Amino acid sequence: MNLYLVRHATAKSEFEDPLRGLSDEGRADIEAVAEIVARSGAVPVRILQSGKKRALETAEVLARHIGFNGAVEVAEGLDPMDLTDTWLEHVDASDDDLMLVGHMPYMGKLAAQLTTGNKERDFLEFATATVLCLKRGGRGAWYIGWMVTPENCSLVPDTA
């Protein structure tokens, strides 16, 4: 199973957009990241997002790039301060590849809990528009498959 943890791209300020949709910079960042994610062969069975406009718009860009034909779903438990327990149970019970689009500090805590067993072990720089692929190996252990950030997009060779 692959679990794709995504932090939403940079949003507009509340002054610019009270619902905080993606800024031009954020949209450009997630477009670049999504292109690389598509080349990775990522094909989640479901894409779930927090319900906030910036998470929805981030999820929609990723869905378009990877050729996802399903509906992007709203899911509870992905807000910044939510507890990781709900999604830990979901991913442990699933064999389907999932993509979760949410916020910090939640995404960092979920990644830490899955890979180290300690949600307080803050070991990743989870920048906006980051996609982290976690893979479940033998005996249910999770490890990092790859991570794409706006900053490392230029390091990936263009295969087109």
Res 59: pLDDT: 99
**CB distance 151 to 32 below 8 Å:** no
CATH number of the domain at 88, please.
3.40.50.1240
Give per-residue pLDDT as tens, 1-37: 999 999 999 999 999 999 999 999 999 999 999 999 9
Instruction: Classify residue 158: in a domain, yes or no.
Output: no
Residue 116 confidence class, pLDDT cut points 50, 70, 90 = very high
* Total number of domains in the chain: 1
Across the chain, mean pLDDT equals 93
DSSP-based three-state secondary structure for 59: helix
pTM recorded for the entire structure? 0.94
Domain assignment present for residue 160? The answer is no
Kindly state whether residue 159 falls inside one of the protein's structural domains.
Answer: no
Query: How far from the centroid of its chain's Cα atoms is residue 89's Cα?
Result: 18
Query: Could you list the residue range(s) of the whole structural domain that residue 138 is in?
Result: 2-153
